[in-house]
């Protein structure tokens, strides 16, 4: 299904989304803020819904409130049962995605291994009297409750919310190769109007392709050039190749809060007063929470005498090299590319949000669409990005390019695995939760995702130690 756009760039919601993303870096002077995030979310939701807002929003409401995510708004008003306990469906596993701070339970007598866990709701609704029980607090989002998954337990744990089907054994999987089109598990997808199904597929496909287009240019590792000439030669999607650069600091979990704060204060050269200290405190908190933070952006130098010598760029490079010398992860890249990465982060946040959202009362259909689009080849025309005069394939960095060549016909999911190392903490955790929501749809979904080549899978193992997600994927690929 191609992303066909009409002549008028704003004649339909998807065209409007694409047009906005194309002009946004320059029109906002490369400054990404809450307003930019809200604009992207609004246009994504408009493209997703098309003229069928009634399937997502209550009567009389045509848009999600600004700055709010769709699933959060649905839960706040109880749309389609959102925000309440999930209904009992015979044969459906729980698949509740754990949030940071939630309690997870293990039963040594019932579980096949230590990766099999239950949420509090399922633990208290199942029988474990006299068993060896342990629990822990989830330190991050991701991972899911295995209650109702017959592969996870030695015997039926008799959860009243997720009873087994009347038949015994694992769900049947057709013999031979797995199907190219996964069977639907959504109870309502066939009743949805075709224009709505089309808009969901087109928008989600565009969203994933945009992220991949951005990551084509992102470095595989946090490093900086040693001189100004190499700084300008870095891969960039900027069609104008403007000499405006951003210094981004990456969290390496090696340095303390105070160490990082001191380094920024000393090297940035912007004073040490109370206001600057509060500003740097906010930077370091964001670094710890999200995994990276923009420390500085140079301005266009209109003074020819200093611009000729690259005064501002040299200052950024000097600061970055000083940070790198004490083993801090640093990148200095064009402001255009940094802005696009921030836009891609919001789009990934939106993809995670729709895995929690409902279409009417159906909480599975959007996950199904996302799974289907993940398993299709990417389309490089999703976003112009200056690719027409540079060529996307030539701009992929060496490590990623060498890895993806191992796959004959790579899907979007293959690229996501290859590009995993380019992402920062918050995005990696979001992807982990997205993957968990997809493999929990059905056993066929689990097996199909598990076909991802081991070469690509190995790039993510270090990020998810002990995760049942990785355990499942590795088992499926055997």
Whole-number Å distance between alpha carbons of 38 and 44: 10
Mean pLDDT of 275-292: 94
Q: DSSP code of 299? A: P
Q: What is the CATH number of domain 228-341?
A: 3.30.1390.10
The confidence band for 309, taking pLDDT boundaries of 50, 70 and 90, is: very low
Task: Please give the CATH number for the structural domain made up of 91-165.
Answer: 2.10.110.30
Q: Is the pLDDT of residue 331 over 90?
A: yes
Best mean pLDDT range from 10-14, 120-124, 387-391, 450-454: 120-124
Largest distance between two CA atoms of the chain: 81
At residue 388, the pLDDT reads 37
Please tell me the predicted confidence (pLDDT) of residue 67.
Answer: 92
pLDDT at position 382 is 56
pLDDT, tens digit, 9 for 90 and up, residues 51-60: 999 999 999 9
User: What rounded mean pLDDT belongs to the chain?
Assistant: 83
Query: What pLDDT is recorded for position 313?
Result: 57
Domain range annotation of the chain: 91-165, 228-341
CA–CA dist 97, 119 (Å, integer) = 9
**Residue pLDDT, tens place only, 228-238:** 888 888 889 99
pLDDT of residue 185: 82
What is the model's pLDDT at position 96? 84
Tell me the per-residue pLDDT of 337-380, one tens digit each, with 9 for 90 and over. Answer: 999 999 999 999 999 999 999 999 999 999 999 999 999 999 87
pLDDT, tens digit (0-9, with 9 covering 90-100), for 130-184: 999 999 998 877 778 999 888 889 999 999 888 876 554 445 555 545 556 777 8
- Contact 415/344 with Cβ under 8 angstroms? no
Q: How confident is the model at residue 24 (pLDDT cuts 50, 70, 90)?
A: very high
Please tell me the predicted confidence (pLDDT) of residue 168.
41
Share of the chain above pLDDT 70, in %: 79
Predicted confidence at residue 198, as pLDDT, reads: 97
pLDDT for the residue numbered 268: 85
| Sheet of 118-119, strand order | 118-119, 103-107, 133-137
Residue environment code for 352-369, b if the CB has 16+ CB neighbours within 10 A, otherwise e: bbbbbbbbbebbbbbbbb
Gap between the Cα atoms of 186 and 19, Å rounded = 33
- % the chain with pLDDT above 90: 51
pLDDT for 439: 85
pLDDT band of 310, cuts 50, 70, 90: very low
The pLDDT assigned to 228 comes to: 85
pLDDT in tens, 313-322: 568 899 999 9
Any residues with CB less than 8 A from the CB of 465 and at least 6 apart, and which? none
pLDDT higher than 80, residue 398: no
């Amino acid at each position: 299904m191609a992303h066909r756009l009409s002549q008028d760039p704003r004649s339909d919601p998807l065209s409007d989304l694409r047009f906005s993303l194309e002009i946004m870096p320059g029109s906002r002077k490369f400054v990404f803020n809450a307003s930019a995030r809200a604009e992207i979310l609004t246009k994504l939701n408009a493209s997703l819904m098309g003229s069928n807002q009634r399937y997502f929003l209550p009567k009389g409401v045509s848009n999600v409130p600004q700055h709010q995510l769709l699933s959060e708004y649905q839960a706040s008003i109880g749309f389609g049962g959102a925000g309440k306990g999930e209904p009992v469906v015979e044969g459906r596993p729980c698949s509740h995605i754990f949030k940071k701070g939630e309690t997870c339970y293990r039963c040594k007598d019932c579980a096949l291994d230590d990766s099999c866990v239950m949420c509090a709701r399922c633990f208290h609704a199942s029988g474990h009297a006299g068993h060896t029980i342990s629990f822990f607090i989830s330190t991050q989002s991701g991972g899911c409750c295995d209650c109702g998954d017959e592969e996870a337990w030695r015997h039926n744990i008799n959860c009243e919310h997720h009873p087994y089907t009347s038949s015994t054994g694992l769900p049947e999987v057709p013999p031979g190769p797995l199907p190219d089109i996964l069977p639907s598990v959504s109870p309502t997808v066939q009743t949805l109007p075709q224009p709505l199904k089309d808009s969901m597929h087109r928008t989600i496909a565009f969203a994933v392709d945009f992220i991949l287009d951005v990551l084509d240019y992102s470095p595989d590792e946090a490093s900086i050039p040693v001189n100004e000439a190499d700084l300008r030669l870095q891969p960039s999607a900027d069609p104008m190749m403007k000499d405006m650069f951003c210094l981004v600091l990456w969290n390496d979990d090696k340095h303390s809060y105070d160490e990082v704060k001191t380094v920024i204060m000393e090297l940035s050269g912007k004073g040490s007063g109370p206001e600057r200290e509060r500003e740097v405190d906010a930077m370091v908190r964001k670094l710890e929470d999200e995994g990276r933070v923009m420390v500085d952006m140079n301005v266009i130098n209109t003074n020819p005498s200093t611009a000729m010598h690259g005064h501002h760029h040299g200052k950024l490079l000097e600061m970055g090299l000083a940070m790198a010398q004490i083993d801090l992860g640093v990148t200095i890249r064009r402001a255009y590319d940094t802005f696009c990465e921030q836009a891609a982060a919001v789009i990934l946040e939106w993809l995670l949000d729709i895995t929690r959202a409902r279409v009417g009362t159906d909480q599975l259909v959007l996950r199904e669409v996302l799974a289907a689009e993940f398993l299709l080849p990417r389309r490089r025309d999703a976003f112009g990005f200056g690719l027409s005069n540079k060529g996307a394939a030539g701009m992929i960095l060496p490590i990623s390019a060498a890895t993806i060549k191992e796959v004959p016909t790579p899907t979007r999911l293959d690229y996501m695995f290859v590009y995993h190392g380019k992402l920062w903490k918050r995005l990696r955790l979001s992807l982990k939760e997205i993957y968990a929501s997809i493999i929990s749809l059905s056993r066929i979904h689990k097996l199909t995702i598990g076909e991802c080549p081991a070469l690509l899978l190995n790039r993510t193992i270090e990020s998810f130690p002990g995760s049942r997600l990785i355990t499942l994927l590795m088992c499926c690929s055997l």
